[in-house]
Amino acid sequence: MKTKVVVTGLGVISPIGNSVEEFRDALKAGKSGIGKITQFDTTGFDVTIAGEVRDFDPARWIEKKDARKMARFTQFAVAAAAQALEQADLLETIAAEGEGAGQKRRIKGNAERAGVVLGNGIGGFEIVSESFRKLHDSGPRRMLPLTVPTMINNEAAGNVSMVFGTRGPALTQVTACASGADALGQALDLIRSGRCDVVISGGTEACITPFAIGGFQMLKALSTKRCDTPEKASRPFDVDRDGFVLGEAAGVMVLESEEHARERGAKILAEFAGYGCTADAYHITSPDPSGEGGGRAIRLALEDAGLKPEEVQYYNAHGTSTEINDVTETKMIKYAFGDHARKLKISSTKGMTGHCVAGGGGIEAIASILAIREGFFPPTINLDKSDPECDLDYVPNKVQYGEVRAAASGNLGFGGHNGVVVFKKYE
């Protein structure tokens, strides 16, 4: 019998709120977090908009001296992890070593049985860009001293482990835009296998830089038609969409075995019931247009969760606002859910947040848990007229309410990666 895995804490840093409460309220309100880019001068760029995290002060969660040694994506991850651990009541304050070292917050319980698995697609792009500029302009002696340890993908998981004192596995999942979902799946397996009692898991990304915007712009992947009305630019499943809007975010949750959570009297938010992953083996950027690969990932996740298709009420779609993704994902959902696909509530929260790469898998999984806990279906904003090939119920423009006993969240990544996670109401 599989070990039951439960969720006991949530943390969010996002374009629509830097707490779970702000994020939830924005989802219900259909609030757009897309605006003009402020992190760099966009002169000469066709794309001038993004889903930026606003009003983020790392000092709320991280010691200033530690934050200075972290790239932005790592700061997001540590901040979201702090929120999740606080909600889970898994932090204690201890005296730090060394004279004048003050106090540190450490994870409660057996740290050797606590792990971290975070998804990240791109790493510290702002660090890479700045160091390349200094190398080009002034030579290697002017490069940032911490270039390598701040830019590499694994530093988010490493820093979460160091800040909170977890001593079990500290792993990084890199499967492009599926990284967040796949990290959660790997965390699920760590607990089911008995290697960990607690895992801090999710996804983080911060790549709103000239290099990233320029690169995606050259792929013709980004929206350019509505830079003057940025809140209207991300339009999943809408016939008039013209590409995705890049975003940044971290969504992190605390996962535990049910036994561990109950023994310590934790408040259980949901059951993490299933995970499925597949590869399309088709194309470096485009999903298999048949939808079969992603559809199999959904089927595997449902099978892992012990659910029939008709037992799922909500599906948080990858929904990037690109023609190939939205049409393919509609086929995926039909492939996996059969006749139930037309009764299923489906939405893409990327209309509000933009495409947050690995961070998207984290915050979209959290949106699915909030849907279960509070009985609502987040809207797909800017869906004024559906693409004729996207003919399912995408909860257009306004929140809807109803019981959600089970919800799934799916993500697709460049390279053909498909990851799907399933959550259930805890009983």
Contact indicator for 298, 408 with CB cutoff of 8 Å: yes
The per-residue DSSP string of 103-130 comes to EEEEESS-GGGEEEEEE-SS--HHHHHH
Annotated catalytic residue 417: no
Contact indicator for 252, 6 with CB cutoff of 8 Å: no
Characterize the bridge pairing of strands 314-316 and 35-36: unpaired
Query: Considering Cα of 358, then 363, then 366, then 371, what sign does the dihedral take?
Result: negative
Q: How far is CA 418 from the centre of its chain?
A: 14
Q: How far is CA 159 from the centre of its chain?
A: 18
Q: Which of 207, 355, 356, 417 is catalytic?
A: 355
Tokens representing 236? Answer: 């999943």
Contact indicator for 124, 212 with CB cutoff of 8 Å: no
Contact indicator for 169, 191 with CB cutoff of 8 Å: no
Say which residue the tokens 């006991």 belong to: 8
The residues, any chain, with a CB within 8 Å of residue 159's CB and separated by 6 or more, are 66, 70, 74, 77, 78
The residues, any chain, with a CB within 8 Å of residue 287's CB and separated by 6 or more, are 280, 293, 294, 324, 325, 328, 329, 412, 416, 418
Query: Considering Cα of 376, then 181, then 126, then 50, what sign does the dihedral take?
Result: negative
Q: Which of 207, 318, 390, 417 is catalytic?
A: 318
How crowded is the C-beta side of 406, counted as CA atoms within 13 Å? 16
Q: Which of 177, 196, 356, 390 is catalytic?
A: 177
Annotated catalytic residue 355: yes
Q: Which amino acid is at 35?
A: G
Instruction: Please give the Cα distance from 142 to 120 (Å, whole number).
Output: 28
Helices 358-374 and 20-29: angle between axes, nearest 10 degrees: 80
Instruction: Please give the Cα distance from 103 to 98 (Å, whole number).
Output: 10
Q: Which amino acid is at 261?
A: A
The residues, any chain, with a CB within 8 Å of residue 403's CB and separated by 6 or more, are 313, 375
Contact indicator for 349, 395 with CB cutoff of 8 Å: no
Instruction: Please give the Cα distance from 150 to 87 (Å, whole number).
Output: 28
Kindly list the catalytic residues: 177, 318, 355
